[in-house]
Amino acid sequence: MKMNDRILVEVTVVGKDRKGVVADVTHFIFKNDGNIEQINQNVINGLFGMQLEASFYHYNFNKKLFDTELKTLAKKLSMEVKIHYQEPKRLKNIAIFVSKESHCLLKLLDAKVSGKIKANIVVIIGSENTNNTIAKKYHIPFYHIVHSMQTDAENEILDIMDRYNVDIIVLGRYMRILTPNFVWRYPDRIINIHPSLLPAFPGAYAYVQAYERGAKIVGCTAHFVTEDLDQGPIICQESFRVGQKDTVDSIKERGRKLEAVTLLEAVTLYLQNRIEVNWGRVVINDHAADIATKKKS
């Protein structure tokens, strides 16, 4: 089957763990003449999550009927089902999540304006209200979402993501931990920037830890978010050497600049369809870069 002859559908299923869910969903795919490309499932504290990617031929696929029947199956299983269609010809919609810091946000917004990234930045979510003025300057809707319980915040955010038909979520120093209930709905579609060369120095105070431990090389990591904190597949990493005269503040400042560049690199690779995740490991496809080089020559 050629790529342009098929429709790729991503289905995520989340709900209270019970028997028969995997069998019923996969049977539904086969009944509709679909071919399962990838499937992954997990259970954490009684919460079941499944991610499934299936392909269908264009000529015999009824999108409206497929959506209706799958929603009916979801009610029967008492599960929440999310359907995402991969449409290569449509510009992807990006949501950026931020807290107080703005360096990553500004880098992405400037890249959009200059044409470095080919996508629509459709909404900005803030756990703090600090970056609201930046969103207004770039004429992008901003939502300040804060709740005492992260699950309540995520429920509100999920509604916003559906409203704006978000394809990819970028965490530009979003200082909240996303729950499995949220992450499972966007498999390999949430990109985070972490201020450390993972897996070392996990958590929010990586630069302080690096300074206190006398690290000679520090950096940052752009990775996909999974239910395991700071353990998702690594997309790209950058680093710099720490000099004798460096302080915590100078390391942080150098780190912030590198974070913005590295996060933009990861987002760009994703938008160019050059990233594949195989068994928890990111593979960068250089085919697109080779084509561009041949055109220039």
Q: Roughly what angle, to the nearest 10 degrees, separates helices 103-114 and 248-271? A: 40
Identify the active-site residue in 230, 249, 286, 290. 230
128 Cβ contact partners less than 8 Å away, ≥ 6 residues apart: 98, 99, 100, 144, 146
The token duo for 106 is 């500004």
Residues contacting 102, CB < 8 A, separation 6+: 130, 131, 134
Which residues face 192 on adjacent strands?
171, 223
* Nearest to 173, CA basis, from 276, 117, 98: 98
| Residue 230 among the catalytic residues | yes
The structure tokens 């319980």 sit at: 149
Beta pairing class for 142-144 and 168-171: unpaired
Catalytic residue numbers read: 230
